[in-house]
Structures are given as structure tokens and as C-alpha cells.
Structure 1
Amino acid sequence: MTGVVLAAGLLGVLVGSFLNVVVHRVPLGLSVVRPASRCPGCGHEVRRRDNVPVLSWLLLRGRCRDCAAPISVRYPLVELTTGLLFAAVTAHVGLTWALPAYLYLVGITVPLTLIDLDVRRLPDAIVLPSYGAALVLLTVASAGTGDWGALLRAVVGGMALFFLYVVIVVVKPGGMGLGDVKLAGVLGLYLAWWGWDALAVGAFLAFLLGGFVAVPMVLFTSAGRKSKMPFGPSMLAGALLALFVAQPIAGWYLGLVGLPA
């Protein structure tokens, strides 16, 4: 299993290199395939040998080969973070039919988090196709395991989390964006397929993590209570975290109220 986890980590680093392109181009409405990456300083096309994830940045000492313009450290950090998340999810989910689905979840978590932090937006170009991708991948997972109840649970959970966010938007207009509502349905699919406990814990963690970020910003920065703060990163982090901690948290809570786990 160690070899599989290491391979997944390496794959994640490679995927992270592509996600850097996604983060830069999707908010601008540009193709993520063409043209090839260029230095924003001198306009030279990035050579293949200078496009090796992490390693090229280190060898170039974080600067363009042609004009010596600085290359943001965010590029290798995104690659490394994606690799670590791929490895962690693989170690937790295992070499199962569900693994591709949850690696895809990581694959959208990284760019959506960064884009929302950068431009306060969750692009439809990523979120909406993820409904189809999630349904296909989770259907394959259910077919492979024979657990069709998990797929039904995923659809119900996706709808439930989507409509929960719709109610929040209706009750408190401006409290969150429509992008958050659209993302909620995608996350609901993944969380509910994993289990009802994951859905409940993931939904709760989103608001808990959002509060951890919002309260200090309101108290100690110039951000006011009506300032628009990105909620997508908290939703995504809560969903991923729930995959790892939902079962022990649910067991602890049920034990606390005297119910069988």
C-alpha cells in the first residue's frame, strides 16, 4: 500500500502543476490547454525542462530563466499540497472503486479554494461539470462495490445540502453567494456517498471553519460584518476533513447523548 500512496502523491504533484494553470486562467475565461505557459514578465514560452513540478522552481531558484523575473512560491506549494492531499486520501480511502471519485474531489478543492480566495468567486466552469463527474465516478464506485444504496444516499444528500444552502440564501440574502449554493450540491454527493455521518459532520465543519476565519477578521482587521468573505474554502476544507473524522466524531456524539454508534 505504501507504494500506491507514494504513486498517488507523485500523481498529485503532476496534477497540481496543471491546477496552477487552472487557477490562473479559468477566472479570466481563458483556455487551460492553449497557449502554452509563458513568463508574464518577458513573454517567453516556458521550456519543457523548466516545467517540471517543484524541481524546476528549485533549480531556477524561483526565477525566470530568460528575464530573471521572480516566480511565485505559490506554484510549488500548490503542487506539493496537491500531492500530499492525493497521498492522504489514497491512504484513507484505499485502492478501491471509490478512490478516483475522491481524488477528483481533491482535484477541484485546490483550484476552487485558491480562486475563491483570489477573486471571491467559484467558477461555474469548474463547479457545474463536477456534478456530472461526481455522478459518473460515484456510480462506477457503487457498481464496483455493489452498494447501490450509497449512490441513492449520495443523490438524496446532494439535494439536501443544496436546498439547505438555498434556504440560507433566502432567509439571509447576501449571507453567501450563489456559487456556494451550487458547490453545496457537489459536496453533498461526495459526503453522503461516504455516509450520513460524513454529510452531517461536513456540513457542520464548513460553518465552524468559516466562523474561525470570519470572527478574527471582524474583530482584528478592517473587515466589517458586511464584508464579503469567501466561504467556499471552508466548505471544501470541511468536506475533505469530514472524510477522515466523521466516523469518530459521530460516534463520540452518539455516545454523548446515549445512543448506539
Structure 2
Amino acid sequence: MAPYTMYSIFSFLFGLVLGSFANVCIYRLPMGKSIVSPPSSCPHCGFQIPFYDNIPIVSYILLRGKCRQCKQPISIQYPLVELIMGIISLALFIRYGISYQYILQLLFAGSLVVITFIDLHHKLIPDVISLPGILIGFLASFLLRHLTWLDSAIGIVAGGGALLLIAVVFEKITGKEGMGGGDIKLLAMIGAWMGWKALPFVVLISSLLGIIIGGGALVASGKGIRVKIPFGPFLAMGSLIYLFFGDSLVAWYSALFV
């Protein structure tokens, strides 16, 4: 087997394992539980899950999506998150190879995945992810090829400040909260990792996704604007799209004015 193929497979499998850990974070962080101990257990019956039932994706298939002990269904979210992280890890390896760039961007992308699912379930973006994420993103700017520390610093201020301004203006006009504090800190974190130049594209992509997906969800629910849809997942998706296709998007946008 060629080394590149072997490393590609390894990066995908590594992503699956990280996806399994991401599921632990998604489940435990909103409840304030430790992500290290105790070992994973069934949320229905408390059965401690043995290692052979904790193999990413494979165990879900072999167990037919049910707990070995109580036979209650296992959420499809578990293999889905694992698969998403596997694909992201492979894509980052193809882009950066085995390097510190790969590791750092995988940390950033994994944080976005965890934030997405927590926000979907709880309409909450934990400070324990976003605030350290801002600091780590700024420190990473000294290592990432595409980013300078100044771009990162401006990104933090611009990201958090832009959404804060929008939230304040919206609340003044409508008397309702338009943007949660978690979203503001999340965009500051995105600015730290991606720099201020990425923010207009990330916000535009996120807004379009919010209109298309969020609008469709509102129509499907039949409840109209009474349903609150978190914006964090759209910011995360916009960031991931820009992470992989940002150069092409910038080139396409620039070509419009040539």
C-alpha cells in the first residue's frame, strides 16, 4: 500500500475516533459533567458501554442502533458525528498533509462540530469551548500559514463586535433579543482562527444557509416565526465551507469586479 493511501486511511480513522470523543463532549458539556470520566454509559439504562461496543460506526451497525443491554435505540447522531469528523479529518489531511496545520485546523473544525450539535439540542454555545477557542485561535495564528497575529486580533474584535452591534440594533428596533451572547463569542472565535478577512464571507454564507435551511424548517414546522432556530450551527457550517473553499470563493468574488 502506498504511503499516501495509508496516511489517508489513518487520517479518516483518526477522525472517527475524534468524532466519538466529540459525541462525549456534545452529551456531557451542557450538563456540566466531566468529559474524561466516568466511562461512557447508556443514557437510558446506565449500562457501562464496553470498548467493543464503542468502536466508531462499526459498533452502531453491529448493534443495529440499539443498546446491548436495554435494547433502547441509540441516536443516529453518534455515527453521524463520527462520520462527519472522519470526512473532515481526511479532507484536512489532503489539504495540509500530516503537519501542525492539520492538527490545529482539526481542533478548530472539531470545536465547530461540537458547538453545532450542542446548539441544536440546547440552544446554547458553551463558554468552555468558545472562550478558550478564542485564545487558542490567537496563539495558533503564530503557526498557521494563512494567518498573522494581527489579522487574528482584528478578527476577534471585528467578529464579536459586528454581531454585538447587530444584536443591540435589532433589540432597540424590535424590543426582542436578536442574537445570543454565545453567537457573538462564537464569531469572535471564528475571527481568531480565520482572520478578519474571512468574516464577511462566513457571515454571508451563514446567512444564506440560515435563510434556506432555517426558512425551510420554519415552513415545515407550521409554527412560523414562533420557532427559535439557533444561528450557531449556520456560523459553524459557514466557517467550514470557507475553510475548504475560501480560496475559490474569494477568487470567484474578485472575478466579478474584473
CA contact (8 A) 1:12 1:79 kept: yes
Q: Tell me the equivalent position of 2:67.
A: 64
Q: Tell me the equivalent position of 1:50.
A: 53
Please give the per-residue CA displacement for 1:28-59, whole angstroms capped at 9, x wherever unaligned. 11111122112233322111222121122222
Q: Give the whole-Å Cα distance in 2 for the aligned partners of 1:206 and 1:33.
A: 33
Please give the per-residue CA displacement for 1:179-226, whole angstroms capped at 9, x wherever unaligned. 00000011012222xx83x33322211111111123223444333335
Matched, 1:152 2:150: yes
CA contact (8 A) 1:202 1:246 kept: no
Identical aligned pairs, as a percentage? 34
CA contact (8 A) 2:138 2:193 kept: no
Q: Give the whole-Å Cα distance in 1 for the aligned partners of 2:45 and 2:220.
A: 40
Runs (5+) with no aligned partner, structure 1: none
SS of equivalent to 2:225: coil
Q: Give the whole-Å Cα distance in 2 for the aligned partners of 1:220 and 1:44.
A: 37
Please give the per-residue CA displacement for 1:142-182, whole angstroms capped at 9, x wherever unaligned. 5xx6x8x6222122122212111111111112112110000
Q: Tell me the equivalent position of 1:170.
A: 168
Runs (5+) with no aligned partner, structure 2: 172-176
Matched, 1:17 2:15: no
- Give the TM-score normalised by the residue count of structure 2: 0.88
Q: Tell me the equivalent position of 2:230.
A: 230
Q: Give the whole-Å Cα distance in 2 for the aligned partners of 1:219 and 1:48.
A: 42
Structure 1 ranges of 4+ moved more than 6 A: none
Please give the per-residue CA displacement for 1:32-90, whole angstroms capped at 9, x wherever unaligned. 11221122333221112221211222222222222222222221121111111111122
Amino acid at match of 1:249: L
Q: Give the whole-Å Cα distance in 2 for the aligned partners of 1:38 and 1:161.
A: 38
State the superposition RMSD in angstroms: 2.0
Q: Report how far residue 116 of structure 1 moved.
A: 0.7
Q: Give the whole-Å Cα distance in 1 for the aligned partners of 2:21 and 2:120.
A: 19
Amino acid at match of 2:238: G
Matched, 1:87 2:93: no
Q: Tell me the equivalent position of 2:182.
A: 179
Q: Give the whole-Å Cα distance in 1 for the aligned partners of 2:83 and 2:14.
A: 11
Deviates more, 1:246-255 or 1:78-87: 246-255
CA contact (8 A) 1:217 1:223 kept: no
Deviates more, 1:12-21 or 1:210-219: 210-219
Q: Report how far residue 117 of structure 1 moved.
A: 0.7
CA contact (8 A) 1:98 1:137 kept: no
Pair 1:3–1:135, CA change in 2 (3 A) = farther
SS of equivalent to 2:148: helix
Amino acid at match of 1:232: G
Q: Give the whole-Å Cα distance in 1 for the aligned partners of 2:76 and 2:85.
A: 14
Q: Give the whole-Å Cα distance in 2 for the aligned partners of 1:237 and 1:166.
A: 20
Please give the per-residue CA displacement for 1:106-162, whole angstroms capped at 9, x wherever unaligned. 1111111111111111111221121222223332x15xx6x8x62221221222121
